Each structure stands twice: as structure tokens, then as C-alpha cells.
Amino acid sequence: MAKPVLIANWKNYPSSFSEAKNLLGQLSRDRKFYKKLSLFIAPPLPYLESVALKSKGFARLAIQDTTNLSGGTYTGVVTPDILKSFGVGLVILGHSEQRALGETNEAVSQKVITALRSGFTPLVCVGELSRDQEGRHFEFLREQLKSSLAGLNKKTQAAKLAIAYEPVWAIGKSAIEAIGPSDLSESTIFIKKVLSDMFGRSTADRIPILYGGSVEPANAKTLFSKTGVKGYLVGHASLSAKNFKAIAIALTSK
């Protein structure tokens, strides 16, 4: 069985380099434990080299976004070749915070193709803004998936994807207020069905679905054990070494 996937999305934190080094030091004390997982850390770009050095052997590097430009001379752009030199293996695309700033499904689709051609694993984020009893949110989710993954070759590209389901309405809530296991299971099944319709059953079965949205130590085990997700994309809780390890334990305990 593949290892559970755990991704720490630090966003634009910690606010100082010294804090980042301290957090890395705390995480590295449990390096043997973290080898039980497929662990990625997505830090702010200025911390990339330090994270690459201090997490070596127990975590891989991820980045929080990328360009759809594969090469050339572009002031202010960090191209994939530079990121690859640090050992980046995964890129988060279509995060709800980027979509809130105006990123379209079409822009995400272009970035997905560039990421695949550059040798990265694209973690494509999708999620409805709100949930309704009539099920209209599923149509929103279907369109987001189809448009964000448009133009992919199902044999050579789609199987290299990963999906992160992050319902916007659940982000920033407490573990009690966030999504429950029945709703998460329903959404996971739906996403898998859309992927099967797009790429075929065998390819869809190879695409892991992660969950992101108020993952805390209090709900991590329940959401993982009863819903079919393969791991978590963790935001603010990843900035606490104690909370992050508690979530990791939930993924590895039977």
C-alpha cells in the first residue's frame, strides 16, 4: 500500500527566517517517524534552500504555485528549471486563495501542462464555494475539474496528477464546524467519478485525492479513516510542529 500523503503548505509563513529554521529543527527531530509518510513541505520561496537542506532524507520540496512559462527571460518569474535544481517534486496549483485573486480554470490548466512537462507532480486544488441541499455544488465541482484538467493525455499525463479537495466554505473553521466524514466521502466518490469519466477508470484509480480545509489533530483520524482520501494538504496547522505531528500520527495509526 502506498504511503499516506501529507503536505505542509506554509503559505507566507513563518514571518521570519529564524522562525522557519526553528520549525524545521523541530520537525527534523522526528525525521524517522516522518519517513512513514510521503511528506512534502511547501515553504515561501525565500526559504526554499534552507528547507531543502534541513528536510533532506525525510521530506520532499513542494512549491505553492508556479508559472505557465517553461523557459525564457522573464523578470520576476521563477521558472521550473530553477525550482528543479532545488529538488522540487510537487507543485500546488489552483489553490482557493489563488482562485480568489482571479485565477481561472483555464490558467490552472495551462500551469498543469507546464508542470507535467517540467517533471513536477501537479496537486490540483478544487472545491465549491458553498454547499447546498439540492446538490448544485457538485456541478460547480464537475466544471472546475473538467476545465482545470482540460487538454491532458489520459495515458501519459493524467495518471501523474494528484487532486486536493478543499471546499472553500470549510476553510478557516474549527474541526467541529468543518466538513464531516459523510460529506467528505460523498465528495471523494464524486471526484473519482468525474475523473473516471474524463480519463477512464484505471487512470482515475491512480490519481490520489487529498483533503484540505481545517484539518486539525481533532478531526484528522476520522476524516482519513472513513472517507477514501489518501492524505492531507495542511495549512495553518503545519506551522505547529506539535499539531503537524499529531495529524501525521492520525495518518499512520491503524
The catalytic residues are: 95, 166
DSSP-assigned letter for residue 38: E
- Strand 60-63 and strand 38-42: the pairing is parallel
Q: Which residues pair with 93 in a beta bridge?
A: 124
Asked if residues 39 and 58 have their Cβ atoms less than 8 Å apart, the reply is yes
Q: Cα(46)–Cα(51) distance, rounded to whole angstroms?
A: 10
Q: Cα(4)–Cα(210) distance, rounded to whole angstroms?
A: 9
Give the DSSP per-residue string, 174-238.
Answer: -TTTS--HHHHHHHHHHHHHHHHHHH-HHHHTTS-EEE-SS--TTTHHHHHHTT---EEEESGGG
If DSSP codes are grouped into helix, strand and coil, which group holds residue 62? strand
Cis peptide before 14 (omega within 30 of 0): yes
Closest CA to 139 of 102, 190, 72, 213: 190
Instruction: Give the Cβ contact number of residue 17 at 10 Å.
Output: 12
Q: Cα(129)–Cα(120) distance, rounded to whole angstroms?
A: 28
User: What DSSP element (H or E) covers 154?
Assistant: none
